[in-house]
Amino acid sequence: MTSAIQQTICGETVLEGIGLHSGVSSTMRLLPADPDSGIVFVRTDVDPELEIPLGLDTLRKQPRRTTFGVGDVEVHTCEHLLSVLHVLGIENLRCEIDGPEIPGLDGSALPFLEAIGETGLAEQGSRGRTLAIKTPVSAHEGKASAVALPGDGFRVTYTLQYDVDPGFSQTVDIVIDEKSFREEIAPARTFVLESEVKDLQVRGLGKGATKDNTIVIGGDGKAPDFRLPDEPARHKILDLIGDCYILRCSLSGHIIAHRSGHGLNAELSARIAEAHVRERELEDVLIKAPHGLEIRDIQKVLPHRYPFLLVDRVLEVEEGVRAVGLKNVSFNEEYFQGHFPGQPVMPGVLQLEALAQLSGILLLRSSADSNRIAYILGIDDVKFRKTVVPGDQLILEAELKRLRERTAQVQVKATVDGKTVTEATIRFMIVDAN
């Protein structure tokens, strides 16, 4: 399954179809990309076109699908394509799409696998990113759970269980490689319980669902046209493989999941990443920021380190003007152990600290300021408008309002899903580090 060498595709691959949830038709062009450039979605229907890199820092919470976004622009239902990229070891790819959602095709990963197979793969010489799980981690939400354990190869054990009347349960245990994926996982299609259909329609989901791309399952777990035994559980494994590729690493280990969906899969991936941060094994899980700063660049500017470095990535910096950054709020944050542990909420002072750190990057990024530190002089007009909870993604914005030789004033704002959660004006004193 894994490749020791980075790979992209040999040429252009074009796929067309309607989105499973939006019902909007789109054309997606998969194009070769340079080594170390990563997986990048490109919305070509917005002006100017917008690049959305694959990663935990661009992940968005959306029901029943995996979504990535920057600002107000998103790409939905990426999990089927990502499962194929994960298994084939494709690390660098440009995915241009002229709509908001990846084509649903037949509801499985097989059309993506076949189309990329016809195009072919190209090795790129650079070392591939692989990640062997060394530290057991887990994620839980209600009755759902997911655990990642050390192990040889990539093995998934998934239990799908519904308590509806009469209810049903399916368990699939499989070692994932290209052959097993092609024959036993990729053909498994999207499904929905018959009892869920009306609720999904009310919520505006499944607008592109048809009998050709979505299986409708009765309460007993049966449908007239399964392609594979336990096809629903196998599709859940397909989704999990795609969701784990948020890490942009080919995984080695054993994942045991019970009732998990996209949100919990992403939470498990975040915990895998955090475990490797603590173990200083970032080399293979860091995601480069084409137009901003990745974590190693941030550490060159700021004196902060884990667990008090609160800016995961800087999307863009316009020196002397503004900066935009990201902070993923994970349930695994250390402060959640004691701050309202029964109903965790990110402390407002830490939101301000994250905004202050982004401001420091804005003020100190230039080489001329490399030996300086920005200390907070004061914070004015603070407003907390909405709670921030695990799973949220903070978009941090800092705009320079006044700069003198030794002082600066920065207007800051943090948003979640486009809604302002925190805003303030921060005044800084800039001093020499020595």
The residues carrying an active-site annotation are: 262, 339
Q: List the helix and strand counts (H, then E) for the chain.
A: 8, 24
Distance set, CA 364 to CA 318, 404, 406, 431 (Å): 12, 13, 12, 11
Q: Which residues pair with 318 in a beta bridge?
A: 322
Amino acid at 194: E
DSSP state for residue 307 in the 8-state scheme: T
The helix/strand/coil state of 151 is: coil
Give the residue carrying structure tokens 């018959």: 194
Q: Which residues lie below 8 Å from residue 304, measured CB to CB, with a gap of 6+?
A: 310, 357
> How far is Cα 115 from Cα 110, in angstroms, rounded to an integer?
9
> How far is Cα 239 from Cα 263, in angstroms, rounded to an integer?
11
Would you say 222 and 198 are in contact if contact means Cβ atoms under 8 Å apart? Answer: no
Q: Tell whether the torsion through CA atoms of 319, 290, 97 and 188 is positive or negative.
A: negative
| Phi, psi values for residue 395, rounded to 5° | -95, 115
Amino acid at 91: E
Would you say 219 and 164 are in contact if contact means Cβ atoms under 8 Å apart? Answer: yes
Beta strands (DSSP E) in 164-304 are 168-175, 190-193, 214-217, 250-258
| Phi, psi values for residue 266, rounded to 5° | -65, -40
Q: Report H helices in 14-137.
A: 79-88, 110-119
Strand 137-141 vs strand 214-217: parallel, antiparallel, or unpaired?
A: unpaired
State CA 80 to chain mean position distance. Answer: 14
> How far is Cα 115 from Cα 111, in angstroms, rounded to an integer?
6
Would you say 160 and 169 are in contact if contact means Cβ atoms under 8 Å apart? Answer: yes
